[in-house]
């Protein structure tokens, strides 16, 4: 279920001016010149702009050539502007070029014809440190526009590309919300550095390292770190460009050996200020359950009556659920003669198909660009995004063994057992390595909170025609805290309980200076680039745990006050730095 609502604010320029020009007589060197007296009145010229099929064109720009007055069409394609009959209107709209219309009456109706603009956005493809016309590209480059993104519930950038770009393989590490994703372009390109490509967001290369802590092993195995790319609101993304081969990614050096993915976020567009509310609601469920015996089939199989506990439970139904996901995004965009602006805020809430699993994200973004001096000699850009992510996990560790994963316990559980006993407590199976899966979910708590800020500012100065200097300063800061608790329980997996807190802080700073020179001679185009790029990565982490904690519900939760109960303290710290 998907809804998108646009609200527009229009400015109607309806000035009425009365100009009186009074001529006077003058004598000069024996002759007299007489200047006639006349008056000129500006009128309100109204009209409608449509395409060749008669559909209204919204956001077309109308300019009076003689005076410079401007107006824009509304949602019905209508406009009103102050001008005189006989003057000329310049009408422009993206994809239609610019058309001139002579005013012959106070009512104007224009049908715009599609024209090929001299430099349309479709003809230009973003590459490393610049852009090129598609006809000039020699490397393997694929570009994916917003209208071609994968539909459905997409948490991160890599989800948008899934199944959309040839040669790009994307596989989720698990079905858990916010789980990590393995991305490879044309197979594995490096023996030692893995297969993950380099991701660059608005000119800032990201580290491929995890930005959230790995789940500790408290008896149910280690849970993997979350997807480091899930901090971006997918509604803010304008395009994704994939540089596949060595020639296309060579500008990034060894980091681009596995390919490069360039992510460009949205900017303010031409036309009137635009306010957009974007929302969707989705539902998820297990496509197909494993075909296991029901309680009746189990009994009819001739089992020993000692194993018939009188219940009738489908344990897959007990741990699986119909999950609900929702996303709400509000954005504002505006473009002026000298710059453009885009701001958005969003909230996503996704439930996992297994009880107690979920993903919540709140993001805010600001993109701004402004030009200064004559002919936009100096351009300054600002890109800033902040996200706060809260994730809850389940006991489904990759190295927990056959008796450490909640799904395995659901598949092994006797269908004649019931979820609860006569006292309303979870049924105790009284068996080694066979536990009530609902009971495991109740005594296990895994929460990850990640706050991330990514921003950069760019300044471009045109020194001479064709010669430009560019400065880029970027910062990527992440703080993540993971709290994992196994309360005292009746299993042989940490029966006295344990609490572990893992913290991971990541810092990435980028500093770039470079010059570009473009020269066109007849049909020959030359482009040169040279500069300096410095990027520093810093990662620090802390880890501590407490054993023999208080029973669940007694006192304060250990994630709020780790010291309220416990007999052991296990500190650890780590530090890593890479230039």
Tokens 């349309």 locate to 120
d(CA 1, CA 380): 39
Residues contacting residue 304 through CB under 8 Å, at least 6 positions apart:
none
The dihedrals phi and psi of 528, each to the nearest 5 degrees, come to -125, 145
CB 158 within 8 Å of CB 183: yes
Instruction: Tell me how far the alpha carbon of residue 382 is from its chain's centroid.
Output: 17
How deeply is 244 buried, as exposed, middle or buried, from its count of CB atoms within 10 A (0-12, 13-18, 19+)? buried
DSSP letters of 439-472?
A: HHHHHEEEEEEEEEEEEEEEEEEEEETTEEEEEE
Distance linking the first and last C-alpha atoms of the chain: 46
How deeply is 312 buried, as exposed, middle or buried, from its count of CB atoms within 10 A (0-12, 13-18, 19+)? middle
Q: How would you label 286-303 residue by residue, b for 16+ Cβ within 10 Å and e otherwise?
A: beeeeeeeebeebbeeee
Would you state the pLDDT for residue 525?
Answer: 79
Would you state the pLDDT for residue 448?
Answer: 92
∠ CA 146-349-269, nearest 5°, is: 30
CATH class of domain segment(s) 2-111? mainly beta
d(CA 42, CA 84): 5
SS3 category, 79: strand
Would you state the pLDDT for residue 579?
Answer: 56
Question: Hey, which residues does 47 pair with through a beta bridge?
Answer: 79, 108
How deeply is 498 buried, as exposed, middle or buried, from its count of CB atoms within 10 A (0-12, 13-18, 19+)? buried
CB 34 within 8 Å of CB 25: yes
CB 48 within 8 Å of CB 109: yes
The architecture CATH gives domain 121-261: Beta Complex (2.170)
Indicate if 121-261 has the same CATH topology as 2-111: no
Would you state the pLDDT for residue 292?
Answer: 93
Every domain of the chain and the residues it spans? 2-111, 121-261, 268-280+326-396+435-578
Would you state the pLDDT for residue 122?
Answer: 44
pLDDT in tens, the chain (579 residues): 444 444 433 333 333 333 323 333 333 333 333 333 333 457 888 889 998 888 888 888 888 888 878 888 887 889 889 888 888 998 988 777 788 888 888 888 888 887 654 444 445 555 556 555 554 444 677 888 888 787 777 888 888 888 888 888 887 777 777 776 778 887 765 555 567 888 899 989 998 788 888 777 777 766 777 788 889 998 899 988 888 777 666 777 778 788 888 999 999 887 788 999 988 898 989 989 999 999 999 998 878 888 889 999 999 999 999 999 999 999 999 998 889 999 999 999 999 999 999 999 999 999 999 999 887 899 999 999 999 999 998 887 666 666 668 888 899 999 999 999 999 999 998 887 788 999 999 999 999 999 999 999 999 999 998 899 999 999 999 999 999 999 999 888 888 989 999 999 999 999 999 999 988 887 787 888 888 999 999 999 998 888 888 888 887 778 777 655 554 444 555 555 555
Would you state the pLDDT for residue 51?
Answer: 85
Using alpha carbons only, how large is the chain's radius of gyration in Å?
32
DSSP letters of 354-409?
A: BTT-EEEEEEEEEEEEEEETGGG-EEEEEEEEEEEEEEEE-S--TTS-TTS-HHHH
Q: Which long-range contacts (CB under 8 A, 24 or more apart) does 146-153 make?
A: 146/237, 146/238, 146/239, 146/266, 149/234, 149/237, 149/240, 152/282, 153/280, 153/282, 153/284, 153/325, 153/327, 153/350
Strands 130-133 and 61-64: unpaired
The dihedrals phi and psi of 73, each to the nearest 5 degrees, come to -80, 150
Would you state the pLDDT for residue 131?
Answer: 57
């Amino acid at each position: 279920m998907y809804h998108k609502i646009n609200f527009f604010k229009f400015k109607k320029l309806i000035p009425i001016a009365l100009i009186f020009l009074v001529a006077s007589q003058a004598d000069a060197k024996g002759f007299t010149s007489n200047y006639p007296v006349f008056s000129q009145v500006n009128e309100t010229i109204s009209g409608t702009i449509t395409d060749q099929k008669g559909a209204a064109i919204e956001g077309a720009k109308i300019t009076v050539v003689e005076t410079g007055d401007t107006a824009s069409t509304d949602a019905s394609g209508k406009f009103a502007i102050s001008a005189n009959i006989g003057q000329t209107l310049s009408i422009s709209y993206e994809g239609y070029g610019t058309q001139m219309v002579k005013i012959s009456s106070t009512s104007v109706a224009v049908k715009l014809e599609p024209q090929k603009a001299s430099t349309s956005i479709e003809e230009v493809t973003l590459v490393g440190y610049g852009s090129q016309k598609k006809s000039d590209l020699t490397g393997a480059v694929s570009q994916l526009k917003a209208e071609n993104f994968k539909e459905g519930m997409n948490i991160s950038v890599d989800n948008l590309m899934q199944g959309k770009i040839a040669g790009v393989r994307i596989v989720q590490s698990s079905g858990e919300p916010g789980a990590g994703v393995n991305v490879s372009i044309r197979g594995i390109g490096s023996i030692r550095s893995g297969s993950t490509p380099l991701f660059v967001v608005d000119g800032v290369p990201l580290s491929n390292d995890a930005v959230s802590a790995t789940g500790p092993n408290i008896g149910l195995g280690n849970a993997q770190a979350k997807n480091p790319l899930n901090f971006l609101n997918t509604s803010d993304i304008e395009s994704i460009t994939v540089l596949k081969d060595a020639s296309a990614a060579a500008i990034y050096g060894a980091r681009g050996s596995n390919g490069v993915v360039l992510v460009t976020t949205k900017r303010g567009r031409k036309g009137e200020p635009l306010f957009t509310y974007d929302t969707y609601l989705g539902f998820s469920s297990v496509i197909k359950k494993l075909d296991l015996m029901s309680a009746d089939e189990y009994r009819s199989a001739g089992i020993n009556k000692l194993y018939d506990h009188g219940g009738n439970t489908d344990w897959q139904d007990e741990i699986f659920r119909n999950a609900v996901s929702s996303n709400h995004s509000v954005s504002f965009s505006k473009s002026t003669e000298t710059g453009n602006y885009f701001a958005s805020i969003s909230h996503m809430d996704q439930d996992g198909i297994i009880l107690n699993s979920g993903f919540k994200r709140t993001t805010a973004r600001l993109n701004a660009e402004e030009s200064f001096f004559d002919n936009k000699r100096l351009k300054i850009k600002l890109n800033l995004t902040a996200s706060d992510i809260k994730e809850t996990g389940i006991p489904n560790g990759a190295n927990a063994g056959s008796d450490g994963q909640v799904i395995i316990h659901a598949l092994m559980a006797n269908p004649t057992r019931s979820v609860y006993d006569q006292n309303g407590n979870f049924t105790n199976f009284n068996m080694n390595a066979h536990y009530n899966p609902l009971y495991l979910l109740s005594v296990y708590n895994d929460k990850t909170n990640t706050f991330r800020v990514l921003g950069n500012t760019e300044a471009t100065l045109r020194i001479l025609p064709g010669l430009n200097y560019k400065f880029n300063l970027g910062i990527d800061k992440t703080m993540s805290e993971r709290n994992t608790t196994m309360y005292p329980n009746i299993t042989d997996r940490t029966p006295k309980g344990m609490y572990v807190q893992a913290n991971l802080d990541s810092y990435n700073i980028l500093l770039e200076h470079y010059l570009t020179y473009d020269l066109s001679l007849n049909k020959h185009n030359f482009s040169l680039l040279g500069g300096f790029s410095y990027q520093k990565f810093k990662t620090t982490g802390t880890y501590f745990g407490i054993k023999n904690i208080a029973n669940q519900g007694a006192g304060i939760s250990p994630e709020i006050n780790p010291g309220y109960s416990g007999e052991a303290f296990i500190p650890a710290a780590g530090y890593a730095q890479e230039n």
